[in-house]
Structure 1
Amino acid sequence: MFDVRLLIYALLVELAAIVTLLAGQVGLPYFMAYLAIHGFAATLMATGIWLRFPRSFRDPPLLSWLLVFSVAFFVPVLGVVGLIGGVLLGYILPAPRQKTPFVEVPPPAFTPVQASSSGNFRQGDLKTLLLASDAPTEVRLQGMLTVRNMPTRVTGGVLRETLGDRVDDVRLLAYGILDQKEKALTGQIDRALTLLESAGPARHYRLYRSLAELYWELHFQDLVQGDIRELALRRALEFTDQALAENDADGGLWLLRGRIMMSHERLDEAGESFQRALDVGLSPSRVNPWLAELALWRGQYVKVRALMTVIAQETQFNNLSPSARYWSLS
């Protein structure tokens, strides 16, 4: 109610200004007295009206307040009447829209895919299908074959859940998929380590870089768990640092190091690595998504919005478009 009282006071002071102006006294002192009283009334009026504005109309605060003050001060009487009339209309007219309360809706029911279907599955249905013990085994096995060709970082969780499935074929196929992908990476790691033992100094940098990326993939693709995951991350960091010791201008390695630091929740070191990646010339379009995630972890939401607004202008970020659009419009 403070803003309403200000409007009442503004009207009374404006009346006093009008009385001063119509008193019949002529001279500069009387005119200056009128301007002072009128200016005080305009100040009260602008403050009261500004406080009635929706929050989105008050930005920027000083300029929005000056706009209302200018109307009240430079348009005597009519300006005040118009502003008061606008406030009264806001009270009288109904709200243009009503807030719709949130309601709870039940989760959608899954309809099992028939064995006669074409064999193409939507990604959203696969997890439900593979974990549905009452679904036909043939259909579940078909879904497992589809999962085999998908990135393990997306499917690793559901594959591990099916390791305890009551159907032997499903359980063994899940184990085989995980084991095959893990062995493919560990085989590449063993070959790179063997080459490193006999390689000359000129090849150390590339082998260190390759080993850092391979150990990171074990973690990123969700192929290892527990202590093995920690070991993979530690080895990835060791080889990353060794490669950077050979060539500290590799922006991709600085980016990888920042992601490893984020996995360890060492946010300050992650931020330094990302900044170093930018300093050595890595494209901001590759670094900004990770800087935005880092800012989100730190609770720096203004910085997140600024970074995501830049990302929204990058057409190649198709997967990030919904997130970028949310932060740029929120």
Structure 2
Amino acid sequence: MNSLNLFFLLLIHTLISLILAIFTVILLLKKIERKNSFEVLKNIFILFVLIFLIPVGGYFIIPFYFLILFPKKGISLPNYSELPIKDITMEKIKAKPRKFGEAALIQFVKQKKLTNENFMLVISKFIHPLTVKAMKKAFASTNDEVRLYAFAVISKYENEINEKIEMLKQKLEKVKTEEEKGDIYYELANLYWDMYYLGIIDKELENFVLKETEFYIEKALEITDNPEICFLAGKIYLKKSQMELAEKFLEEAFRKGSKNLKSKVAPYLAEIYFKKKNFSKVKKLFSIVELPLQPDVCFMKKFWSGDTQ
């Protein structure tokens, strides 16, 4: 009889432990990040064992601990069908403030004397005619660190381009196909153009570099009429004030180029049409160009299309 009573007590204790374990895990689902079936069963088993091994007291202590004191493991993210941009943009995100904004950089570049070491470090990361011009201004700085750093940055730019030019000239001697030669001629023209456009070289060398640019672009054009090559040729001839040649190559680049290239060519071509007072062509040009990503080209398109919004 006692054995039978003991069996019934164990059976009841097992059932109560299992029910409490299941009930506790169901309530715990809000605090558990991973909710797959394996995790649920594992938690039920662990709780069942703990409650079963602590008779009577386990009925209250274990569920209380897990439901009240059990810490949240994480916050489950809602499954959005699309990204809630408005919520994200309204979110207060802590970000380290920049030392120099875009407007501040422009103002620094326009200064006659540059003595700010931090500014020099910032602009050295951006290769642009304005930053090169600012570096050259720093040559006259009375601050030794600023002056030497400016010299080092300009020398680095120039040496990198010269090394690439030398490497391509050596490669040119080994290539056999005309297509490969055309690609190298174009790359050489691009490198010489970068030297001229960025203003890295001294004034005395500008004419020589521009002639080298023209020489290699003409060699490339003898082999291929790739729109990118035509675009570069147009920019070179525009710089040399050879408007007819510039217009010819820019129009070809615009006609054959991709949507992205068209938006790049448009301002140069518009400049030629504008100088010729051919305003109808300017308007037609920007009507063809799809809404570009470049802010300046986007403004031109809106202006010439009469879009005031």
Pairwise same-fold verdict (TM > 0.5) = yes
Map 1:134-173 to 2 at 5 A.
140-173=116-149
User: What do the CA deviations read for 1:88-140 (whole angstroms, capped 9, x no partner)?
Assistant: xxxxxxxxxxxxxxxxxxxxxxxxxxxxx95530132235446476x9x5xx1
Alpha-carbon shift at residue 309 of structure 1 (Å):
4.0
> TM-score, normalising length from structure 1?
0.57
Q: Shift in Å at residue 305 of structure 1?
A: 3.1
**Partner SS state of residue 143, structure 1:** helix
CA distance in 1, matches of 2:195, 2:148: 21
Instruction: Confirm or deny: 8 A CA contact 2:291 2:298 kept in the other structure.
Output: no
Are positions 1:292 and 2:267 aligned together? no
Q: Give the match's secondary structure for 2:295.
A: coil
Q: In the alignment, is the contact (CA less than 8 A) between 2:254 and 2:266 conserved in 1?
A: no
Asked if 2 retains the 8 angstrom alpha-carbon contact of 1:119 and 1:142, the reply is no
Render the CA deviation track for 1:209-251: whole Å, top value 9, x for unaligned.
1111111111122212423122122111111111121123x11
Which amino acid is 1:273 matched to? F
Q: Larger deviation: 123-132 or 216-225?
A: 123-132
In the alignment, structure 1 residue 272 sits paired with structure 2 residue 272: no
Q: Tell whether the 8 Å contact from 2:132 to 2:200 is kept in structure 1 after alignment.
A: yes
Equivalent residues in 2 for 1:62-81, closer than 5 Å: none
Deviations 1:280-323 (A, max 9, x none): 45554343232112222333333323323444x42433342223
Provide the TM-score with structure 2 as the length reference.
0.60
Instruction: For 1:1-330, list aligned pairs within 5 A.
Output: 120-129=99-108, 131=111, 140-202=116-178, 203-248=180-225, 250-280=226-256, 283=259, 284-311=262-289, 313-329=290-306
Residue 224 of structure 1 aligns to a residue in which SS?
A: coil
Q: CA RMSD in A?
A: 2.5
Tell me, which stretches of 5 or more residues in structure 1 are unaligned? 1-116
| Structure 2 unaligned spans of 5+ | 1-95
Q: Check conservation: 2:188, 2:213, Cα contact below 8 A.
A: yes
C-alpha distance 147-239 of structure 1, shift in aligned 2 (>3 A) = same
> Identity of paired residues, percent?
20
Structure 1 residues 225, 326: closer, same or farther in 2, change over 3 A?
Answer: farther
| Mapped partners of 2:108, 2:228: distance in 1 | 38
